Amino acid sequence: MSYRVSRRSLLLSAAALAATAGPLATGARAAAKTPKVLVIGLDGALLTRIKAADAPHLGALMAAGLTAPSTLYADPLAPTMSGPGWSTLITGVWPDKHHVRDNAFTGHEFARYPDFLTRIETAKPSLTTYAVSSWAPLTDTVFSAAVDTRVSTPSAEYDTGTTSRAVARLKGAGPDAVFVQLDNIDHAGHGHGAASTQYLDAIHTADAQVGEMVAAVKARPTYASEDWLIMVTADHGHTDAGGHGGSTLPERSTFLIATGPTLSAGSVRYDVKMPDVAASALAHLGIALDPAWDLDGRPVQQPQPDDFDTLRPKLTARTDETGIPAAVLGHTHTPPAGWSVDNSAMGTGGVTEWRGWSFTTDEFWTQSQRDQQRESNVRARGVFAVADGDEWQDKAFTGTFDSTLVGPAWTVTGGRPATLTYTTYYRHESPQKGEVLVSFDGAAPVAVRTYTADVPSRTETVTLQVPSGARTARVRFRYTGGNNWYWVIDGVRLTQS
C-alpha cells in the first residue's frame, strides 16, 4: 500500500486558479473558464471490443467528442507491455527516448522525460495534481514525487478502490489535473482472452466506473465555470486468446477518446498517437510546449494534417498481399494534389501494392510482413508515403526498384534560406539508397541529403539556400534498390521565416 498526501494544506480558490490559468485557443468564452484535465487509462482495452460491449458511458464520450484509433510499436523498439505503454502515454515520448522496455522500468529516463503531471508542477506550481492507480508501478515509479498526491490502491480494493478515490477527489475542491488507471480489463484479457464474455464484462464494469468519474466532474459546484478536457486511453491491446507483448495488430492497438472545447462531437481522427495524451493535457492547461523538452506528442486540439492525409478517402484494399485482412482499406498509388510519382525507371511486375512509391497506413503496411521493424515507424501519422523494395520483390518482377516521389512547386523568396522538414524512417541494405533532392525554378535537382545507413524514425530538418531570384522550389525523394528494405516519408513541409 502506498499513500502520498498532498503537500498543500490549503487549496487555491477557483478564482485564484482562473487567474493563474493560461489562455485557451477557444476564444474569450472558454478562456474565462478554468481549464482542468482528467486522464483515465483502461489497461489492455481494445476500442473494437468497447464498441461491441455494453459501454454506454464510453459511448456517450465518443458521441460528445473525438474517437481516435491508433497503433503502437513492437520489438525491437519495445514490446507491447504495460511499462513501455504507460510510460509513452504519461511522458509524451516514445520508448527510444524514455527507455522503458519492460515492466521493471530498468534504465528509464524519467529525469530527462518526466511525467506530464510533473511538468505541470514545474511550469505552474500553483496547480493541483493527483494520480491514482490500480497498478502500483505507475504511481510509485513513473509519476515523480513532484506530483501533489500519488495513490497506489491496495490490491484488495483494486479498481473499486481506485474509482472511489478518484470520485472523491474529483468531487472536492481542486484538482486541476488528474490521472486514473484501471486494471481489470487487462486482467480479464490475460485470464480469458479479448474474444471472451469475461473481457466484455470487464469493459462494462470499467465503463460504469468511467461514468462515476464523469458524473463526479459534472456534479462539481464549480463545474459551470470550468473547462474540462477528459481523455480515455489504453496502454496496449490483447489477442483474442489473451495476452500481449507481440507484434500483432490487436496487441499494438490503442485509442484515444476525448471530449473538450475544441473537439467536434462524434468526430473520428487517424493522426493521433500515444504521446499526444501528455501534450494535450499540458496545452489545455495553458502550458507552452518547450522545444527543449523534445516531446513526440502534439496536442489533439491543434491538428496538423498534411497532404498525404487527404488521401484517406482514396485508400483501397489489398491486391497481391495475402497477410493483410481483405477488409482493411489502406493503400493507394494516387498522389495528393500537386504531388506526383516518377516511375519511368521503375522495374515491372512485383507486388502491385508496392510498385514505386505508395501511400499507405500503419494498419495496412505493417501487416504486409510483421517483425521486420515496420512497427518502429512510430513518428509517421495517418497516411504516409513508403517505398518498399523488400515487399515489391515478393512477386515475379524485372528490373530494379527506382522510384521518385515529387513534391509540389512551393513558392519561395529568392536569396533567403528555407527550411525543409519531414518525418523519415529508413531501413538500409546495400545496394540501396535514398536521396532527397531539391530544384529551384525547374533547374536540375541537387541532392541535399542521402541515406545509405539505417535511420530510425525521426523528424529531419534541412536548411536550403534559395538562390537569388528563385520563385519556386520542388523536393524529390528518390529510392533505388533491389530486394532490400524500405523508406518512409511523411509530414513534408517547406517554410521560410
Is residue 117 classed as helix, strand or coil in its secondary structure?
helix
What percent of the chain has a predicted confidence (pLDDT) above 90? 92
- In CATH, which superfamily holds the domain spanning 307-495? Galactose-binding domain-like (2.60.120.260)
pLDDT of 121 reads 98
- Shortest CA distance to 131 belongs to which of 171, 92, 169? 169
Looking at the chain, the whole-number percentage of residues with pLDDT higher than 70 is: 94
Give the start-to-end residue ranges of the domains of the chain. 2-293, 307-495
- Sign of the C-alpha dihedral computed for residues 283, 288, 293 and 298 taken in this order: positive
**Mean pLDDT confidence for 193-206:** 98
pLDDT digits (tens, 9 = 90+) for 243-291: 999 999 999 999 999 999 899 999 999 999 999 999 999 999 999 999 9
If one looks up domain 2-293 in CATH, what number appears?
3.40.720.10
**In this predicted model, what pLDDT tens digit does every residue of 332-369 receive, in sequence order?**
999 999 999 999 999 999 999 999 999 999 999 999 99
Q: For residue 31, what pLDDT is reported? A: 55
Asked if the model's pLDDT at residue 113 lies above 50, the reply is yes
In whole angstroms, what is the distance from residue 333 CA to residue 360 CA? 9
pLDDT for residue 482: 77
pLDDT digits (tens, 9 = 90+) for 73-107: 999 999 999 999 999 999 999 999 999 999 999 99
Predicted TM-score (pTM) of the model is 0.91
Q: Identify the pLDDT of residue 23.
A: 36
> pLDDT tens across 289-334, in order?
999 999 999 999 999 989 999 999 999 999 999 999 999 999 999 9
Q: Examine the pLDDT at 240 and tell me if it is beyond 70.
A: yes
Check whether 186 has a pLDDT greater than 70: yes
Average model confidence (pLDDT) across the chain: 93
Give residue-wise pLDDT tens across range 152-174: 999 999 999 999 999 999 999 88
Instruction: Decide if pLDDT at 483 tops 90.
Output: no
Beta-carbon neighbour count of residue 323 at 10 Å?
10
Q: How far apart are CA 375 and CA 384, in angstroms?
A: 14
Residue identified by cell 524500405 is 486
